[in-house]
Amino acid sequence: MNQILVNEKVYVTPKLKRKKIFYKTMFILSVLIVLVLIIYLIYSEYDRRKGEAISKDILGNIADVDTTVINDDTLVVALNDNIEEVHPKQLDKFNTVYKTDSGKEYKVDSILNIPSLEIKYPVLSESTDELLKISLNKFWGGEPNSVGNYCVVGHNYDGKDIFFGKLNKIQNGDIVELEDKTGKVLQYKVYNKFIVQPTDVACTSQITNGKREMTLITCSDGGKTRLIVKCRAIE
């Protein structure tokens, strides 16, 4: 029996062609969006880790300065094996000037340590978007460990284990330590923790009735609000 093979042509209407082009375009766009998102997440994580690495390097550099108190008037300072005596008021452990990738100069103002949360970072002397990617920043206030309200701000990166990522776990009664440029470490006790709107800056008030206070600030609820932690020096 002879078989007759008939090739049938399927007629594609203009409407069907447009649909095919549309679906193909949407597929390509979806793939591109996913790729861009993945690249963004990878870069964001790299940027965070890079900032933390710089912060830890700064701590390492500061640790090279060893101070030993002889009496109230004299300190022995050992830096790079060179021994010299200086007056405590002349000592500045944080006198190194650092530079960001953009060339902005900055210094360390203090070192903040929260033992219960294993948080320890240098507090940079001012606050900018670029410096917040490197470490904690001084937001407001006078000299560290002086009378007034020393305000420190830091990113939390949605609870990641970097900078103030674990600050929401702090409890009333926890100890926060602040080291100033003379090497003096003063302990503060947490006495309040609350949430405010970003426009509410009452927590930065310098009226402390002669007390040494410290305020820790970070974002909460995806940046919609601010977590405030209030501390008072143990004296």
Q: Is there a single domain that holds both residue 80 and residue 166? A: no
Cα–Cα distance for residue pair 133/154, rounded to 1 Å: 9
Q: Is there a single domain that holds both residue 170 and residue 82? A: no
Does residue 210 belong to any structural domain of this protein? yes
Residues of the chain with pLDDT under 50: 1-6, 66-91
Q: Is there a single domain that holds both residue 211 and residue 226? A: yes
Does residue 136 belong to any structural domain of this protein? yes
pLDDT at residue 80, as a whole number:
39
The percent of residues in the chain predicted with pLDDT above 90, rounded, is 46
Cα–Cα distance for residue pair 49/32, rounded to 1 Å: 26
User: Which residues have C-beta within 8 Å of that of residue 9, sequence separation ≥ 6?
Assistant: none
Does residue 30 belong to any structural domain of this protein? no
Q: Is there a single domain that holds both residue 136 and residue 190? A: yes
- Give the predicted TM-score (pTM) of the model: 0.69
Q: Kindly report, residue by residue over 166-198, the tens digit of the pLDDT.
A: 999 999 999 999 999 888 899 999 999 999 999
Cα–Cα distance for residue pair 34/55, rounded to 1 Å: 32
pLDDT at residue 181, as a whole number:
87
Average pLDDT, the chain: 80
Cα–Cα distance for residue pair 168/193, rounded to 1 Å: 9
Q: Is there a single domain that holds both residue 101 and residue 201? A: yes
- Nearest Cα neighbor of 98 from 67, 68, 131 is 131
Range of the domain at 44: 39-63+94-233
Rg (CA), the chain: 28
Q: How far is CA 176 from the centre of its chain?
A: 17
Q: Kindly report, residue by residue over 96-122, the tens digit of the pLDDT.
A: 888 888 888 899 999 999 999 999 999
pLDDT at residue 78, as a whole number:
39
Does residue 34 belong to any structural domain of this protein? no
